Amino acid sequence: MSKFFATFLPKEKKGLRRRYIEEKNKKFYHKRKFRLTIVVVLLLVVLAGGIFAYKTGRVLNKISDTDSTVFGSLFGALSGGSLDDENGRTNILLLGIRGQNLPGGGLLSDSIMVVSLLENEGKVALISVPRDLYVKMPNEDYHTKINAVYARGEDGWRKKGMDDMKKVIKEVTGLKIHYAAVINFEGFKKLIDAVGGVPVTLSTPFYETTQFVDGNECGGEFTLPQGTSTLMGDQALCYVRARENTSDFDRAKRQQVVLQSLKNKLVSVGTLADFSKVNDILNAVGENVRTDMSAREMREFYDKYGKLSDVKVYRRVFENSPEGLLTVPQDAPASAGYILIPREGYDNYSAIHEVCRDIFNLPEQSDIDPAKQFVKPKGKGKKSEDKKKELKSSTEVKTNVTKKETVNTTKANEKKNDKTTE
């Protein structure tokens, strides 16, 4: 109805007309406001998703030594790909280090573990190699403890520590190592914290009363009660580092327990569906993890193994026990310190090859339970003076031996040169 004819309407009709127009306008603006709100929300979601996606790509690019760009990493992660394997079996080397530029040998890999995955059977093997295994340095003519291989490979311009460790581990285990990953202490702690801690069940209380006292790490004396405890980052790190009241072999077994618990926590319902948790995980690994796995391969790895819940785990720790296949040599070089070699002799890994090859068909290692402490160790407080003297004496012996070897080598070379001259 036009405004002209509306002027002739009674006052009651005019009021109805005004209210009709007002209601219509109100609905229009409400609808417009609603549409605007939807657009803003969608924009925020897209923006947040974009930032998260970029961050994901950036983090993957940081930890991957093979991806060259952020967006390449992101697209690789989104598209997926295929994992390297041998007869359906993929082997990944995991190294734990203190952290670059940190005191106490920041690049020494005191945690060395092969994770072997058999996809078609849903089986996983955890194989730990002790840090004191005496091995030949790749592309060199000398031997060293295996925990020094990565550090020496990273020294100088080469930056081939990961490649060197893969070569050595292949020699030791007989397994082709398809991928490797290195994580430092800080990354380990942050990762554990990001998932809300990991549960660990102990059949007896755990005590480490000497290792951390001098530096006052882990509260000086580190203890855990019997039963199930949820360990946060700091506690979990202390638990997997502790070895003086037990042994390096027991430490390796505890590392396997914690790794298994972490895997269960990562793939549990809600962890990877929680934006804040995933964000914390990305922050944890960004600066503290290195791998030669591309983003595409990481995605494939998660698709294949990350969601497996009913997995049979086979664990093996090589040690100098009846089942461990290693021994302390009687003719060890004095300068080498405490070392381990295969029972068959230096560089003879045939028995270890057999175990690693057939691990999915072998019975469980009988002493794999890491909880061996049934009484609290007696030694409390500062490390004993005897132990300090022993360490000092050992250092002096090593120094004297090295000097003696150097002198002998020099004399031998002089004689050789004299002969040549004659």
pLDDT tens series, the chain, 422 aa = 455 445 545 555 555 556 655 565 555 555 555 555 555 444 444 444 444 444 455 555 555 666 544 444 444 444 555 778 888 899 999 999 988 777 667 889 989 999 998 878 888 999 999 999 999 999 889 999 999 999 998 886 678 899 999 999 999 999 999 999 898 999 899 889 988 999 999 888 899 988 888 877 888 889 999 999 999 999 999 999 998 888 889 999 999 989 888 888 877 656 665 656 666 777 777 778 888 887 777 777 777 766 666 778 899 999 998 778 999 999 999 889 999 999 999 999 999 999 999 999 998 887 776 655 545 666 554 444 444 444 444 444 343 434 444 444 444 444 434 433 33
Cα distances (angstroms) measured from residue 336 to each of 132, 161, 183, 355: 10, 21, 27, 27
Cα distances (angstroms) measured from residue 50 to each of 41, 54, 100, 279: 14, 6, 32, 13
C-alpha 307/C-alpha 312 separation (Å) is: 14
Residues 6+ apart with CB under 8 A from 67: 60, 61, 73, 76, 294, 295
Strand 143-145 with 134-136, pairing: antiparallel
Q: What pLDDT, on a 0 to 100 scale, did the predictor assign at position 79?
A: 53
Claim: this prediction has a pTM higher than 0.85 = no
- Nearest one of 291, 336, 64 to 161, comparing CA atoms: 291
Q: What pLDDT, on a 0 to 100 scale, did the predictor assign at position 297?
A: 78
Q: What pLDDT, on a 0 to 100 scale, did the predictor assign at position 371?
A: 55
Q: What pLDDT, on a 0 to 100 scale, did the predictor assign at position 47?
A: 40
Strand 123-128 with 312-317, pairing: parallel
Pair of tokens at residue 19: 């209210």
Instruction: Assign 232 to helix, strand or coil.
Output: coil
Pair of tokens at residue 111: 């945690």
Rounded to a whole number of angstroms, the distance between the first and last alpha carbons of the chain is 128
Pair of tokens at residue 271: 């962890």
Q: Where are the beta strands (DSSP E) in 178-274?
A: 179-184, 198-202, 206-208, 222-224, 227-231
Could you please report the per-residue DSSP string of 3-50?
Answer: HHHHTTS-HHHHHHHHHHHHHHHHHHHHHHHHHHHHHHHHHHHHHHHH
C-alpha atoms less than 13 angstroms from C-alpha of 263 in its C-beta half-sphere:
19
Whether 342 and 356 have beta carbons less than 8 Å apart is answered as no
Q: What pLDDT, on a 0 to 100 scale, did the predictor assign at position 393?
A: 41
- Alpha-helical segments (H) within 220-368: 233-241, 248-266, 275-286, 295-301, 350-357
Angle at 337 (CA atoms; ends 259, 383), nearest 5 degrees: 70
Cα distances (angstroms) measured from residue 340 to each of 301, 332, 336, 346: 34, 9, 10, 9
Q: Give backbone dihedrals phi and psi of 181, rounded to 5 degrees, phi first.
A: -145, 140
In order of their start, the domains of the chain are: 70-382 (3.40.630.190)
Report the run of H or E that residue 192 belongs to, with start and end. helix 185-194
Task: Tell me the longest C-alpha to C-alpha distance in the chain.
Answer: 137
C-alpha 347/C-alpha 308 separation (Å) is: 37
Cα distances (angstroms) measured from residue 4 to each of 9, 25, 39, 70: 10, 21, 40, 67
